[in-house]
A and B are shown apart, each in its own frame.
Chain A
Amino acid sequence: MIGRIGFLIGIALRHLSRRRRQTAVAVSGVAVGVGFFLAVSALMVGSQNDFIKQLIDAAPHIIISDELRSPSPQPGTRVYADGAVDLHGYKVRTEVRGIKDWQAIMAAANAVPGAIASPSLTGGVTLRLGGHDEAISVVGVEPEIETRISTIEEQLRVGHLRDLETTQGGIIIGEDLARRLGVRVGDILAATSSTSSGRSMRVVGLFKKGQTQLSSGVGYVLLREAQSLLGRPFIINRIGVKLADPYAADAVAKRLEARFGYKAESWQERSADFLSLLVTRNVIMYSVVSAILLVASFGIYTVVSNSVSDKQRDIAIMRSIGFSEGDLQFIFVAEGLILALIGVLVGWMLGYLLMSILGSLEFPIGGETEHIPLDRSPRQYAIAAAASFFAGAIAAWLPSRKASRVDPVDILRGAV
């Protein structure tokens, strides 16, 4: 059986070797298709991966905040859960903002394997130096834990998050904000909030320019510093959770929210609109590159179709010798697959070359040299090959049916 397949493929190869020019055209069609498929998909998938990585890394995978998705049920409805109770116009008890029982939530989040939960308290303060006021949000964190769940450390131009622990009243602000206030590392500022009297803070670190939010409107301090500055001792209003597997965020967030009631937002939920945009982008990309591969397979159709037409006599003689209809069809399908195979191999090389060229391009962004993010995973090569073989097999199979239908009697009778 294997010997027979090899023998028939040998005949197909011999046929192709006698039509070099057509073979070359068909092969280069497939090769260009595969090459551009690889280059385009590497660009698209690469930038998508880079984009998703930024989405994932920009903030903790899950953010649990002190908000509720719907107001908490009133005592009357809670007691008569199954009854037809409709209350309105009652006086609502004012509850203190903040996550209650946050140690339990922390424990639950930390119980997920590989997960790290970091508590924080955010509130508004005014920084003041001389006559200059700047309203910012101050974020109180545990530096030890926060560095492990966020990329905040990488955003620092000067200093470390840990420096907050070693300096009494330390604060980290953005380069832009520091410039506006005219302060440098080591300088002292006054900070006031609506609930506390002013206190002095010492600048211990600076965030890089570029990240507008971090650079001009946020200050990082110790958690207990924030609690005292905002007059909310022992209270936190945000828990950031980093997971070992970012893609589990949705499920974990739903679980935490169901259990504790506080809004737990996964990064997928936060960026749902971006993600749906990516799906659209992928649909467009794959339809365009599939069209390229489809057009490339027309070349295969032409070669096989011509080969079948030119080889009517040979088909008749092989049939009379005792080759079966299946043998003949196989020979011509094999011709198409051989073209696809060579095309894919050359296309892989072309794609690799194109990717190397794209990858070597440099773009200066924010004072740093950036390369285009490319996805060079073998998956793309496999997809390109599979699609080409599929298209090639169909392109060869269509005309090959004609070969199996040749009636040798017609050819022998009409032979000239």
Chain B
Amino acid sequence: MSAIIEARGLGRTLPGDPPVVLLRDVSLTIEPGAFTTIVGPSGCGKSSLLYLLGLIDRPTTGELLVEGREVSQLSGDARAAIRLARFGFVFQFHFLLPEFTALENVMLPMQRLARLSSTEARARALELLAGVGLGEKHTKTPDRLSGGERQRVAIARALANDPILILGDEPTGNLDSHNSARVVETLRALAHEQGRAVACVTHDPGIAEVSDIQIEMLDGRVERVIDRRGAVSGQP
């Protein structure tokens, strides 16, 4: 199976005196149909890595290939276009736009991409919200939703443009165990049932344990990669 993202020797250093090295020589692949977690102690660079993989930040050194194409030198607008059409993000603090209802928040990426008419976008947004169990609450603004509900709206929004890759930055970090389990189940299903690539930064060992691929980081390096798919499917 071809990798959606391939990183080769990625490094990220913040300029300054002295410069701060966030990541050094990270190489990895993110594959479709797998639920990948990136774990490690605080400050090990796992969020920085996620921002690089999500084209939100640029690497200082190394190469980053999205679907086989080198993207680290692309213009800001070209990278934004890739994020819009191919990626979906879920953040710890569920960044919904406060002035917009749940439905409108989910519709935003579709309207920006403008591939669907507004009627189609609306229908798809309702469908996605129903898929995360929030069909009834689509008219509510974020301040009227609970933390778990907001995070599910954020997942629905991440799915708006039918992305090949979903990136989560501590998507359950702000949730109770019940809601957390529900979000994890949703993310796993997106990988296993819909064949998308899902990569999440987490420091919840419970989530890391149920992931297909677990990337462990320490001091800006990849320390160990655990691939559990072989055990499940019986392949080497």
Query: Is this pair of chains taken from one and the same complex?
Result: yes
Point out the residues of chain A lying under 8 angstroms from B92, CB to CB: 415
Query: B interface, how many residues as a size bin?
Result: 20 to 34
In the complex, the chain A residue whose C-beta lies closest to that of B114 is: A3
Interface residue A320 (Cβ < 8 Å from any Cβ of B): yes
Known A14-B99, A17-B99, A317-B95; judge A322-B85 contact (CB<8 A).
yes
Assuming A320-B89, A325-B76, A415-B93, is B51 touching A409 (CB within 8 A)? yes
Q: Please encode chain A, from 309 to 324, with 1 for each CB lying within 8 Å of some chain B CB and 0 for all others.
A: 0000110111111111
Contact at B89–A327, with CB atoms within 8 Å?
no
Q: Are A322 and B56 in contact (CB under 8 A)?
A: no
Name B97's contact: one of A4, A314, A327, A415 (CB within 8 Å). A314
Distance from B149 Cβ to chain A, minimum over Cβ atoms (Å)? 17
Q: Within the complex, what minimum Cβ distance (angstroms) separates A409 from chain B?
A: 5
Contact (A324, B100) CB under 8 Å given A3-B114, A319-B56: no
Expressed in whole angstroms, the Cα–Cα distance for A3 and B91 within the complex equals: 28
B residues near A316, Cβ cutoff 8 Å: 95
User: Are A324 and B114 in contact (CB-based, < 8 A)?
Assistant: no
The answer on a CB contact under 8 Å between B54 and A320 is yes
Whether A321 lies near B51 (C-beta < 8 A) is no
Is B114 a contact of A4 with CB atoms below 8 Å? yes
B193 at the interface (CB under 8 A from A): no
Tell me the smallest distance from the CB of B114 to a CB of chain A, in Å: 6
B39-94: which residues lie under 8 A (CB-CB) from chain A? Answer: 47, 51, 54, 56-57, 76-77, 80-85, 87, 89, 91-93
Residues of B contacting A413 with CB < 8 Å? 47, 51
Asked whether B229 is an interface residue with its Cβ less than 8 Å from the other chain, the reply is no
Q: Does B168 contact A (CB under 8 A)?
A: no
Query: In the docked arrangement, what's the CA distance between A17 and B104, Å?
Result: 16
Bound Cα distance A325, B91 (Å): 21
- How many Å from the CB of A9 to the closest CB on chain B? 12
Within 8 A of B (CB), among A305-347: 313-314, 316-327
Q: Point out the residue from B80, B97, B98 that lies within 8 Å of A324, measured CB to CB.
A: B80
Could you tell me if A7 and B80 are in contact, using CB atoms closer than 8 angstroms?
Answer: no
Cβ–Cβ < 8 Å partners of B130 in chain A: none
Instruction: Give the shortest distance, in Å, between A3 (CB) and chain B (any CB).
Output: 6
Q: In the bound complex, do residue A326 and residue B114 qualify as a contact, i.e. CB atoms below 8 Å apart?
A: no
> Restricting to B102-121, which residues have a CB under 8 Å from any CB of A?
108-109, 111-114
Give chain B residues whose Cβ lies under 8 Å from the Cβ of A408. 56
- In this complex, what residue of A is CB-closest to B94? A317
Check B212 for interface membership: any CB of A closer than 8 A: no
Given contacts A313-B95, A412-B91, A415-B92, is CB(A322)–CB(B114) below 8 Å? no
Query: Is B31 interfacial (CB 8 A cutoff)?
Result: no
Which residues of chain B from 122 to 166 have a CB within 8 Å of any chain A CB?
157
Q: Given contacts A3-B114, A409-B56, A412-B91, is CB(A321)–CB(B109) below 8 Å?
A: yes
The tally of residues in A whose CB lies under 8 Å from a CB in B reads 27
B76 — nearest CB in chain A belongs to which residue? A325
B6 within 8 A of A: no
| Chain B residues, CB < 8 A from A93 | none
What is the minimal beta-carbon distance from A147 to any residue of chain B, in angstroms?
Answer: 70
Contact with B along A1-32 (1 / 0, CB 8 A): 00110010000001101100000000000000
Residue of B nearest to A316 (CB): B95
Contact of A412 with B169 in the complex, beta carbons under 8 Å: yes
Question: Closest B-chain residue to A325, C-beta based?
Answer: B76
- Do residues B112 and A323 form an inter-chain contact, with CB atoms below 8 A? yes
Query: Contact: B77 with A324, CB < 8 Å?
Result: yes
Nearest CB on B from A58, distance (A): 63
Are B80 and A322 in contact, CB atoms less than 8 angstroms apart? yes
Which of A318, A319, A322, A413 has the most chain B CB atoms closer than 10 A to its own CB? Answer: A322
Residues of chain A with a CB closer than 8 A to B87's CB: 322
Contact indicator A7/B51 (Cβ below 8 Å) = no
Report how far A326 CA is from B112 CA in the complex, Å. 13
Closest to A321 in B: B109
Give bound CA distance, A318 to B113, whole Å.
Answer: 12
Contact of A322 with B100 at beta-carbon distance under 8 Å, contacts A4-B114, A409-B56, A415-B91 already known: no
Q: Are A326 and B77 in contact (CB under 8 A)?
A: yes
Contact B95 A7 (CB under 8 A): no
Least CB separation from A322: chain B residue: B84
Nearest CB of B to A300, in Å: 20
Measured in the bound complex, the distance between the Cα atoms of B54 and A314 in whole Å is: 18
B157 CB contacts on chain A under 8 angstroms: 321
Task: Write out, one digit per residue, whether chain A residues 373-416 have a CB within 8 A of any chain B CB (1) or not (0).
Answer: 00000000000000000000000000000000000110011011
A4: nearest residue on chain B (CB-CB)?
A: B114
Q: Are A322 and B81 in contact (CB under 8 A)?
A: yes
Nearest A residue (CB) for B109: A321
Give per-residue flags for A247-260: 1 if the beta carbon is below 8 A from chain B beta carbons, else 0. 00000000000000
The distance in angstroms between the C-alpha atoms of A323 and B98, with both chains bound, is 17
Contact of B76 among A4, A320, A321, A324 (CB under 8 A): A324
Report whether B76 and A18 are in contact in the complex, using a CB–CB cutoff of 8 Å. Answer: no
With a CB–CB cut-off of 8 A, which chain B residues contact A327?
112
Q: Is the CB of A321 within 8 A of B112?
A: yes
CB atoms of B80 and A319 under 8 A apart = yes
Could you list 28 A-B pairs, sorted by A, with CB under 8 Å?
Answer: A4-B112, A14-B100, A314-B95, A314-B98, A317-B91, A318-B97, A318-B108, A319-B56, A319-B80, A320-B56, A320-B91, A320-B95, A321-B108, A322-B82, A322-B83, A322-B84, A324-B77, A325-B76, A325-B77, A325-B80, A327-B112, A409-B57, A412-B56, A412-B91, A415-B91, A415-B92, A415-B95, A416-B93
Q: A14-B100, A321-B157, A323-B80 are in contact. List 10 more A-B contacts (CB 8 A).
A: A4-B112, A7-B114, A314-B98, A316-B95, A317-B95, A319-B56, A321-B84, A324-B80, A415-B91, A415-B92
